[in-house]
Amino acid sequence: MGGFRGHPWRICLHAFQTLAFGHYLFNYQYSFGWGYGPSMLPTFLVDGDIIIFDRHHRRGRDVRVGDCVAYHIPVSPDEDGVKRVIGMPGDYILMNSPGASSDRMLQVPKGHCYIVGDNLPWSRDSRDFGPLPLALIKGKAIAKGQISGWHPWKWFKPLENSLTTDVPS
């Protein structure tokens, strides 16, 4: 008799171990999702980009200004989004574009961050629902890509923080 040999309990144990490892990997290490919508153009395509998230950054752990993060949308709890962090606790944020009718500023409260989309006119973000609690962050985007062809090493490219904190002298 060929095929997979072993006691039925051993097979169940291996199946359970595989499921437990998959659960651990996708809930606590890395996950992926599809980007859609125009709010993060040109960083992510409107439809089709696959984004890899590092789940070590859940709840805002080691998130910095300029990082793209996945988060639970506070006004739509069943939906998730991806936006760029432009302010961390204690930072001052200009609420409108420079030269707008209102130059209102906000200090990001403790335990929160301020997020916006790269395509401001098409983004629903902290300008609409206020500073985001760090507890709603699900992970940090570390790579993007599209699956095409048979070369997995060409499918994804790393995302880099495009904002700098250097102050010109």
Q: Which residues are catalytic?
A: 39, 83
The single-letter DSSP state of residue 31 is E
Alpha helices in 35-114 (DSSP H): none
CA-based nearest residue to 123, from 37, 39, 36, 38 = 39
Token representation of residue 134: 């760090």
Three-class secondary structure of residue 19 per DSSP: helix
Handedness of CA 57, 137, 132, 49 (dihedral sign): positive
Please give the sequence-ordered ranges of beta strands (E in DSSP) within the chain, or none if there are none: 30-36, 47-54, 68-72, 80-87, 92-94, 105-107, 112-116, 132-133, 137-145, 156-158
